[in-house]
Chains A and B, each alone.
Chain A
Amino acid sequence: MVDVRRRVTRSAEDVVVDVVIYTVMALICFSMLYPFWNSVVLSFNDGSDAIAGGITFWPRQFSLENYAYVFRDPRLARAYGVTIFRTLLGTPLTIIVTSTFAFGLTKRNLIGRRYYMWAAVFTLYFGGGLIPFFLVVRGLGLLDTIWVYLFVIGGSAALLNVFHMIIFRSFFMSIPQSLEDSARIDGAGYYTIFYRIIVPVSTPVFATLTLFNAVNHWNAWFDGAIFITRSNLVPLQTLLRQILNSNAVDELMGELGGTAAEELARSAITTQTLSMATMVFATVPILLVYPFLQRFFVHGLLIGSLKE
């Protein structure tokens, strides 16, 4: 189709539209990337120098002090550990619970299937809200334990994601029944069918949803803020939020001209550049898995369009 269009002489409208589109897109992409770039630049700049302002595209006084400090900070190492723990353990658990549920719901001989499905979908439209949820988590004795992160993500349940269940389910339903029937004739049970047949042919959806769940775990901060009071159990994002907030407080103090601001100005590291370094540090893993993520969901998109 593209080739056909090219042979046709481009009209004036065509050229104008192209110019507008590529210009607008360039601006959009710039606005998407600049915040990252600016933060990275600030994180590599000397803190007291950064206070003077004016740093945009390139560090003015290059320094690795912020990162040296970040890597030495025991709080951050701990928070990193908590986040890695919840991501590595919570993600597979969620995938197992969600995918087996979805598989069961595709089987017509599951008694109660319609009710189970309805019970799951209803939660998408109505929920108890934050306070009753908090009280349930509290009642389970999960407050201030690391286990809360396996059961809770943000302000809702972690182990079952109903949206993902629906995605799994519709994918499983598109698998030809004949694959399963032959195994059934050989006497295979549903565990075997799921593990040996369904999972291997559903790798793309498993991979995509695993990555999505891992990103959710990595990015969760709210649970660490409301279910946890012990600072050694705080995940990375929650700690980062605390650092950013103290930065905002410092800025306010700076406006008021307090001594704290002067004190800060004397040190080579400031909370601002420090929080930039922490932010970069927390974002790098996401940037590393992002190419895989993108490959999968763009792939899914292509399949969708080919089907038409």
Chain B
Amino acid sequence: MQKIVSNVKQPSSNESSEREPHIVTRAGAIAESPAARSRTPRLRDVIRNRELRRDQFQLQSMVFPALVILFVFSYLPMWGVLIAFQDFSIFDGFWQSEWVGFKHFAAFFTARDFGQIMRNTLVISFLKLFLGFPAPIILALILTEMRRQSLKRIAQTITYLPHFLSWVIVSGFVLTLLSVRDGSVNLLLTGIGVIDEPVAWLSQPRYFWGILVTANIWKDVGFGSIIYLAAIAGINPELYEAASVDGAGRLQKIFIITLPSIAPQIIVLLILRISNILNAGFQDILLLTNNGQNAILREVSDVIDTYVFRVGLTNRRFSYATAAGLSKSIVNIAMLWGANALSRRISETSLW
């Protein structure tokens, strides 16, 4: 798991770590031993040698479907961001639409909602970062400290489960628990006397951020802890034994051994998280605000992604929405690059 995880998170380092030298070989030499075959053949040799041609054809045919999918569903849309610089009309199509330069970007940055959207995006994102990022780490520490293996396994089963539910179901739970008439939260809080009257939690802007972040933590805290558990499992047990001999208590051991040992994983995940700072959430917000149609909550719930969705697909302002989305992607890339550079400087841990 750890191997897998580290590969997922560091795709580029993975690629550059292939140290095989490029040896120029003659076709005859390649065809002889299987070991020699595993060097990248030259195109000229492949054309001449029948066996190499068959191998190459088979390999290329295996990657071909994926390359088509990549091209159609990832690279065509990437090229499609150019409509942000057009007055794109669905009837005229891409080639006939008029080029307008940065008009839509200017319109987005000066839009009446711009300040509000940016504030919501940043606030929600930072709340998710400050509360949502440490939560799986804390859970992993708690799970590690559970010495009864049977109980630990049960706790893991229960906490991982919500990750596999759709956001639709989770939003259904939220709506049910927070319902004014019969929601359990209102029952509990009136029961213990915290509030006198049931509160309409989802119709008041000031509660929205809290609800959103709580739902997010509830859903993903368990699954997020797996990566840290794997890292903790990899710590050399002798470290703990040595610390015990020196008289360290359990809490001390967490702070002087466990946390420093998993710091690299924490930093890598933090970099990825920071680079996504403008991705404040999408599905969760849409589902808790009735597809963004909840006008009361919009002042606190409208983030860049939901704005792009509403303006683009509901109001059909394709170019404008694409400009807004592209601005976000560019900031994200810059943040990723910056966070990575910073991390390399201060801790020698980086993505590439």
Q: Which residues of chain A have a CB within 8 Å of any CB of chain B?
A: 1-2, 4-5, 8, 11, 13-14, 17-18, 21-22, 24-25, 28-29, 31-36, 38-39, 42, 50-56, 96-98, 100-101, 103-105, 107-111, 113-114, 116-121, 123-136, 140, 151-152, 154, 156-157, 159-160, 163, 165-167, 169-171, 174, 177, 180-181, 184-185, 189-191, 194, 215, 218-222, 225-226, 237-238, 240-241, 244-245, 247-248, 251-252, 254-255, 272, 275-276, 279, 282-283, 286, 290, 293-294, 297-298, 300-301, 303-305, 307-308
B72 touches A140 (CB 8 A): yes
User: Can you list 17 residue pairs at the A/B interface with Cβ under 8 Å?
Assistant: A13-B250, A25-B155, A31-B218, A53-B182, A109-B52, A126-B78, A128-B76, A132-B79, A159-B73, A166-B14, A170-B3, A190-B62, A221-B166, A251-B180, A294-B156, A297-B1, A301-B226
B74 touches A254 (CB 8 A): no
B4 touches A136 (CB 8 A): no
Instruction: Please name all residues of chain A whose beta carbon is closer than 8 Å to the beta carbon of B236 when the two chains form the complex.
Output: 308
What is the CA–CA distance of A36 and B164 in the complex, to the nearest angstrom? 13
Known pairs A28-B142, A135-B77 / 12 extra A-B pairs, C-beta < 8 Å: A1-B241, A11-B249, A131-B83, A134-B312, A157-B72, A163-B8, A167-B4, A218-B166, A237-B169, A240-B169, A245-B291, A304-B5
What 0/1 pattern do residues 1 to 13 of B give for CB contact below 8 A with A?
1111101100110
Chain B: which residue is nearest A226 at the CB level? B313
- Contact-residue size bin, chain B (C-beta under 8 Å from the other chain): 35 or more
- Partner of B74 from the list A18, A128, A152, A244 (CB cut-off 8 Å) is A128
Instruction: Please name all residues of chain A whose beta carbon is closer than 8 Å to the beta carbon of B146 when the two chains form the complex.
Output: 21-22, 25
B318 at the interface (CB under 8 A from A): yes
B161 touches A133 (CB 8 A): no
A119 touches B63 (CB 8 A): no
| Closest chain A CB from B202 CB (angstroms) | 8
| Closest chain A CB from B253 CB (angstroms) | 10
Known A31-B218, A129-B325, A304-B233: A244·B175 in contact at CB below 8 Å: yes
- What is the total of A-B residue contacts with beta carbons within 8 Å? 344
Instruction: Please name all residues of chain A whose beta carbon is closer than 8 Å to the beta carbon of B67 when the two chains form the complex.
Output: 101, 116, 119
What is the CA–CA distance of A169 and B329 in the complex, to the nearest angstrom? 27
Chain B: which residue is nearest A211 at the CB level? B164
Instruction: Please name all residues of chain A whose beta carbon is closer than 8 Å to the beta carbon of B2 when the two chains form the complex.
Output: 304-305, 307-308
B158 touches A32 (CB 8 A): yes
What is the CA–CA distance of A107 and B322 in the complex, to the nearest angstrom? 38
B58 touches A190 (CB 8 A): yes
Instruction: Please name all residues of chain A whose beta carbon is closer than 8 Å to the beta carbon of B283 when the two chains form the complex.
Output: 154, 222
